[in-house]
Amino acid sequence: MKFIKKNLNLFSLKRWIRNKPVDFIVTMFLMLLILWVATLIVSWFILEANWNVVSDNLDLYAIGSYPADQKWRPMIWMLSLSTLTIITLTWRRKGILQKSLPWIWILMLPSGLVLMAGGPGLIPVASHKWGGLALTLILALSSAFIAMPLGILLALGRRSKLAIIKYSCGIYIDSMRSVPLIAILFFGQLLIPLFLPVEFDINRVVRAILAFAVFAAAYVAEDVRGGLQAIPKTQVEAAEALGLNPKQIAILIMLPQALRTAIPALTNQAIGLLQNTSLMAILGLVELLGISRSLLANPNFMGRYLEVYVWIAAVYWLICTSMALLARRLEQELDPNILTIKSNEISN
Amino acid sequence: MKSVIKAKGVVKTFQGGKKALDEVSLEVGKGEVTVIMGPSGSGKSTLIRTFNGLESIDEGIIEVLGVELDSYHDERKVMRIRRRVGMVFQQFNLFPHLSIIDNITIAPIKVQKRNKEEVASKAFQLLAQMGIAEHAMKFPSQLSGGEQQRVAIARALAMEPELILFDEPTSALDPERVKEVLDAMKQLANNGMTMVVVTHEIGFAREVADKVVFMDEGKIVEISAPEDFFSHAQNERSRRFLNQMM
């Protein structure tokens, strides 16, 4: 109470009204507006919203129509992904765990694919049964996994001295960037099967992943090229003077520096890619947005648009924020000044 | 005396027609310290950079350690030279993403395919020789300019070169840091290293150089012993330059 009295001093309030009346009126009006909107939202959340469209279907959002008796497989994968995220973000102690984290991260994708699709000792589950958040993550991670090396090669290619490599990489990048993503997805889903013989069937998830990958690679290439351009020419000269060959210069000197510079831009791409996987809902894959749309078509949950979209917005928000935080963590990890402190700790 | 560099009639024209090197001929003997001086834009940096193929030439022949370079600029020959010739730059040009020890060992390991442990212990020894052994695990951004330049010298030495090129090694340093780098270079010269040094440090030239080469407008104007050059330079342009410097 003392605090409020001190800050809501009536004397100064009077002086405020007298000295700046317009200021006062606008402030009051805006405060009322905010209050009104907040009340509406809170009362909707508590009184009107019926969250059983979310709570009854948590499994569907997570894994879609994945066979129920096998549902532990995608669940374990996603659980370990989130555990790994939390460990990476919070665990600061140096040790064996810290050193093995990058490898565990790299293993997450293949292990996820094996768990989802089946492999040694696991019953195969066809990809048309995949769905929900698990499918969203598989789509985003797999295409990023392909797009990264492809994009790096394109970026290096665009700087090549050989005209044919330089121009073909340039043409690829520029044409990919001038086509909307949805067109490439349509092409992958609807047109490619028309060109291929009937018995030659690539499954839809793979086609989607490839479409995302070839699209994202062009953008990755430009981000990496930006990083490469930020490296002073003298770095190359120093490396040349030491007798390193062009390949060694690219891998040992240029790329490590370029990729570090490109992390913020690449994070943007990764987040964009994850959100763009929702376009597959239009093309009939039941990833997170797709499953939500089919739930809304269910007569039991008719018209519950707000609840469903608020819910999946929250899920997307959580994932994208984690990605941003992970990227910041990676940036810190690669910052030379922090690296120095670490190596000091070792040497002392 | 065996010659390490033999340049004959070297011409280099930059895009736009400016002649950076105009019929330059120079010979550097084994164990010799050659200092190249001259006003900015006189072509001294360009000349030193042709010795390890960082710049190609348009005419003439340069023979470095028995390998001949000409206007064709054969990459394989250039590589053979670079493996045996060290270079130290004005801006140090250390690799910022690598620790000091990695900066020094990367080339011996990757280019000469030498044993990692052997190279690392050699690197520590070189750092100790340069007086900066305690910085081995740090990163370049943590070191002062003078320390970085001494790392750069150690990096060049790690390749066990038969010749080291110095391209204005002290020009980017704070005045109080110049001495530590020059001392390291003097030590090298005393150990019999063949060195070609582009510098404005008259004291260094006087004390260490076997000969001073004066360049102006892409031409070698004068080659003299340092005692002659600084007391009674033969050429009018050399004298004018020295008057401005001192």
**CA–CA dist A224, A147 (Å, integer):** 12
Q: Which of B169, B125, B167 is nearest to B146 (CA)?
A: B169
Residue A150 Cα, gap to closest chain B Cα (Å): 23
Sort out which chain B residues have CB atoms less than 8 A from A337's CB and list them: 139, 141-142
Among candidates B83, B96, B137 on the partner chain, residue whose Cβ is nearest the Cβ of A344: B137
**CA–CA dist B114, A40 (Å, integer):** 73
Q: Which of B97, B10, B119 is nearest to A235 (CA)?
A: B97
Specify the amino acid at residue A171: I
**CA–CA dist A335, A321 (Å, integer):** 21
Among candidates A243, A260, A347 on the partner chain, residue whose Cβ is nearest the Cβ of B79: A243
Do A242 and B82 count as a contact with CB atoms less than 8 A apart? yes
Residues 6+ apart with CB under 8 A from A139: A205, A208, A209, A212, A277, A280, A285, A287
φ/ψ of A99, rounded to 5, equals: -75, -30
The pair of three-digit structure tokens given for residue B26, joined into one six-digit string: 């120079």
Please list the residue range(s) of chain A that carry CATH number 1.10.3720.10: 57-347
ipTM of the complex: 0.92
Interface A:B, Cβ pairs < 8 A: 74
pLDDT band at A11 (very low <50, low <70, confident <90, very high): low
Q: Which of A66, A54, A57 is nearest to A286 (CA)?
A: A66
Sort out which chain A residues have CB atoms less than 8 A from B141's CB and list them: 336-337, 340
Q: Give A93 or B142, the one with higher predicted confidence.
A: B142
Q: Which of A99, A143, A172, A137 is nearest to A342 (CA)?
A: A99
Do A242 and B91 count as a contact with CB atoms less than 8 A apart? no
Do B54 and A337 count as a contact with CB atoms less than 8 A apart? no
Q: What is the mean pLDDT of residues A205-226?
A: 95
**Long-range residue pairs from A335-342, CB within 8 A, at least 24 positions apart, any chain:** A336/B96, A336/B97, A336/B139, A336/B140, A336/B141, A337/B139, A337/B141, A337/B142, A339/B99, A339/B139, A340/B138, A340/B139, A340/B141, A340/B142, A342/A94
- Which chain A residues have any C-beta within 8 angstroms of a chain B C-beta? 234-235, 237-245, 248, 252-253, 256-257, 260, 334, 336-337, 339-340, 343-344, 346-347
Q: Which of B97, B100, B114 to mutate to test the interface with A (most CBs of A within 10 A)?
A: B97
pLDDT at residue A340, rounded to an integer = 47
Closest residue in B to A334 (Cα) is B97
Do A234 and B89 count as a contact with CB atoms less than 8 A apart? yes
Torsion A143-A149-A150-A156 (CA) sign: positive
3-state secondary structure (DSSP) of residue B18: coil
Strand positions, DSSP E, chain B: 3-13, 19-29, 33-37, 59-64, 67-69, 85-88, 163-167, 195-198, 211-216, 219-224
Do B97 and A344 count as a contact with CB atoms less than 8 A apart? no
Do A241 and B91 count as a contact with CB atoms less than 8 A apart? no
Residues 6+ apart with CB under 8 A from A187: A211
pLDDT at residue A198, rounded to an integer = 72
Residue B152 Cα, gap to closest chain A Cα (Å): 10
The pair of three-digit structure tokens given for residue B44, joined into one six-digit string: 């001294």
List pLDDT tens digits, range A130-148: 999 999 999 999 999 999 9
Sort out which chain A residues have CB atoms less than 8 A from B106's CB and list them: 242, 244, 252
A57-347: CATH number = 1.10.3720.10
Alpha helices in B8-142 (DSSP H): 44-50, 75-82, 100-110, 116-129
- pTM comes to 0.85
Q: pLDDT tens string for chain B (246 positions)? A: 689 999 999 999 998 888 899 999 999 999 999 999 999 989 999 999 999 999 999 999 999 999 999 999 999 999 999 999 999 999 999 999 999 999 999 999 999 999 999 999 999 999 999 999 999 999 999 999 999 999 999 999 999 999 999 999 999 999 889 999 999 999 999 999 999 999 999 999 999 999 999 999 999 999 999 999 998 888 888 989 988 887
Do B141 and A248 count as a contact with CB atoms less than 8 A apart? no
Task: With beta carbons less than 8 A apart as the criterion, state whether B221 and B241 touch.
Answer: no
pLDDT at residue A345, rounded to an integer = 45
Among candidates B54, B99, B140 on the partner chain, residue whose Cβ is nearest the Cβ of A237: B54
Among candidates A245, A252, A336 on the partner chain, residue whose Cβ is nearest the Cβ of B139: A336
Give the H or E element holding residue A219. Answer: helix A204-229
As a dihedral over the C-alpha atoms of residue A14, residue A18, residue A19, residue A24, rounded to 10 degrees, the angle is 70
Closest residue in B to A261 (Cα) is B97
Do B99 and A252 count as a contact with CB atoms less than 8 A apart? no
Sort out which chain B residues have CB atoms less than 8 A from A262's CB and list them: none
Place of tokens 């019926």: A50
Sheet holding B195-198, edge to edge: B85-88, B163-167, B195-198, B33-37, B211-216, B219-224
Q: What is the mean pLDDT of residues A177-196?
A: 88
Do A235 and B93 count as a contact with CB atoms less than 8 A apart? yes
Sort out which chain A residues have CB atoms less than 8 A from B93's CB and list them: 234-235, 237-238
Specify the amino acid at residue B104: I
